[in-house]
Amino acid sequence: MLGGIAAMLAFVAVVLAVLVRQAGDWGVPYFSFTSAHGSPCTNDFTGYTCDPLTLADVEFFGDLDLPANTTVLAGSYRSTHDYRLTAQLSVPRTSAAAALKELRTDFGACRGNVSTPLQSAGLTNVCAMASEEGADASGEPASRLYAVGTGLRKDGTRLIGLTIRSR
C-alpha cells in the first residue's frame, strides 16, 4: 500500500514538474519562457513581454539585419494584439558605416525636426528617421510606426535608439 502511494506521488510530482516547465511556452499567464532567439519572456493575461532582448530578437522583431558585433545595451518587446519594440544599441567603429547603411535601407533617409528615442548629446553625425502618421505609398495606413535615431561617439562607436510599434 505504501509503495502504491509513493508511486502515485512520484507520478504526480513528475506531471507537475512538466506542467510548470512547459506552462510559459503554452502561454499560461505569469509563467516565463525563452523566445526562439534566446530572450527571456514572461506571459500575462493580454500577451507577453521579453526583456532584456538578444540581438537576434531585436533583428527579428524589428525586421533588421545589423552587424554581428552590435551590442544590445537595453531592449524590450511587448506583444498584445499590437506590439512595441524599444532598443538601445551600440555598434563598434569597424561596423558603424554598415549599420547606418542598413538603417537607411530599412527606415529611409535622415530627416530634420524629428524626435527620436536616442539621447544625442555629445554625438556627431546624428541622423533621425521616423514614419509618417499618414498613409503609405499605396494610400493605406502604415501598419508599422517607428522612430530611429543614430549618431557617432568621439571614438567612432555608433549608438542607435529605436522604437517600433504596430498600429
Mark out the alpha helices in 26-150 (DSSP H runs): 55-62, 96-107
Return the domain boundaries, the chain: 47-166
Question: Among 10-14, 55-59, 73-77, 93-97, where is mean pLDDT lowest?
Answer: 10-14
- pLDDT-derived band at 93 (thresholds 50, 70, 90) equals very high
The residue-averaged pLDDT of 75-96 equals 96
Give the tens place of pLDDT for each residue, 132-166.
Answer: 665 555 666 678 899 999 999 999 999 999 999 98
Helix (H) or strand (E) holding 138: none
Task: Say what the pLDDT of residue 31 is.
Answer: 81
Of the candidates 22, 30, 24, 150, the one whose C-alpha atom is nearest the C-alpha of residue 97 is: 150
Query: Pick the residue with more confidence: 141 or 101?
Result: 101
